[in-house]
Amino acid sequence: MTIPPISATGSQELVDPFGRHVSYLRVSVTDRCDFRCVYCMSENMTFLPKKDVLSLEELDRLCSAFVAKGVRKLRITGGEPLVRRNIMSLFRALGRHLETGMLDELTLTTNGSQLPKYAKELYDSGVRRINVSIDTLDADRFQSITRWGSLDKVMAGLEAAEKAGLQIKINAVALKGVNEHEIPSMIQWAHGRGYDLTLIETMPLGEIEEDRTDQYLSLSQVRAGLEENWTLNEIPHKTGGPARYVNIEETGGRLGFITPLSHNFCESCNRVRVTCTGTLYMCLGQDDAADLCTPLRASEGDNLLSQAIDEAIGRKPKGHDFIIDRDSRSPAVGRHMSVTGG
């Protein structure tokens, strides 16, 4: 049996059964959001009771246990992470791992609505790069997709983030018949402002009012369309996540593709996700999970928590079972993306 390497703290590093080092943790701090995007949530969501959600202090302990085991990148997600009360205290606490060199990057994915309020504090806490989810530049279409969102508010958030010194990457979910015609103009807009843009295929998580077979747009098809007018050159750029990047000669910017369905990225998966209830999902597209809340709360020490993490990583599957077709209308996974963490 191969013994996993030892981290800088003396703990065993996290290596799954297929030899992949788990160095990237995505942590949802809330299932709540101030938007109701049509591919992510139902309009009338029932959210978790507050008693079921880990405290910010517990989230700090949990994240720190992963950092002690060699996780080098932490991404804070939601729902919308910045709607969590006193969330900046968690960013400030986790920033200590950047100062010690135990952590390479602390970042977040956000819808941008709260950035006017928090951008400077994020930078002061050690965050240097953020992902902002924007699926359209048309204000009416933006409100239609998000149901409750305001494009003007998000644009103000981008300005605040730039002013604070944060590097910005835009995430856009490609939706057939909704924003596919807008993708070239979104690329030009993002690259004109110095932002990277990543396109994402819709994923079959959670029951929604829409039919995902009507939403799904293959990024292989999108890329073929872009190559009719632009020169896309493969580049080795990596941000720690699943995106494959190209450089577009004509715009001078980077474009990423996240393709869980048309070209999955499981073979190089280095990620696990923890929900705001302390449930660890070893794969976004599988239901197998581990309860980290119970060992976290069972002792002031981290031995039980550490053992639970090791046992869970030992069950990390080779890949997901995502599929979208007319015969599989129900979601591949019952939980919503807002629960798992975007």
Rounded CA-CA distance 18/23 in Å is 14
Determine the pLDDT at residue 28. 96
CB 125 within 8 A of CB 95: yes
Rounded CA-CA distance 200/133 in Å is 10
| Residue 333 φ/ψ, nearest 5 degrees | -130, 135
- What residue type is assigned to position 184 of the chain? P
Determine the pLDDT at residue 332. 46
> In which order are the strands placed within the sheet that holds 196-201?
232-234, 244-248, 253-258, 196-201, 167-174, 129-133, 105-110, 73-77, 24-28, 271-274, 279-281, 289-291
DSSP 59: H
Determine the pLDDT at residue 205. 47
Determine the pLDDT at residue 284. 76
Which residues fall within 8 angstroms of residue 238, CB to CB, at 6 or more apart? 245
Half-sphere exposure of 235 (CA within 13 A, CB side): 17
Q: 24-340: which CATH topology?
A: TIM Barrel (3.20.20)
Question: How would you class 100 by CB atoms within 10 Å of its CB: exposed for 0-12, middle for 13-18, buried for 19 or more?
Answer: exposed
Q: What does the chain come to in residues? A: 342
pLDDT truncated to tens, each residue of the chain (342 aa)?
456 677 666 667 899 999 999 999 999 999 999 888 888 777 777 888 888 999 999 999 999 999 999 999 999 999 999 999 999 999 999 999 999 999 999 999 999 999 999 999 999 999 999 999 999 999 999 999 999 899 999 999 999 999 999 999 999 999 888 899 999 999 999 999 999 999 998 865 444 455 545 678 889 999 999 999 999 999 988 876 778 999 999 999 999 998 866 555 577 788 899 999 999 999 877 788 999 999 999 999 999 999 999 999 999 988 755 544 445 444 444 545 555 655
Closest to 316 (Cα-Cα) out of 262, 271, 249: 271
Q: Using omega within 30 degrees of 0 as the cis cutoff, is the peptide bond preceding 314 cis? A: no
DSSP 69: T
If you search the block for the tokens 């995007």, which residue do you land on?
37
Determine the pLDDT at residue 243. 85
pTM: 0.86
Tokens of 99: 């100062």
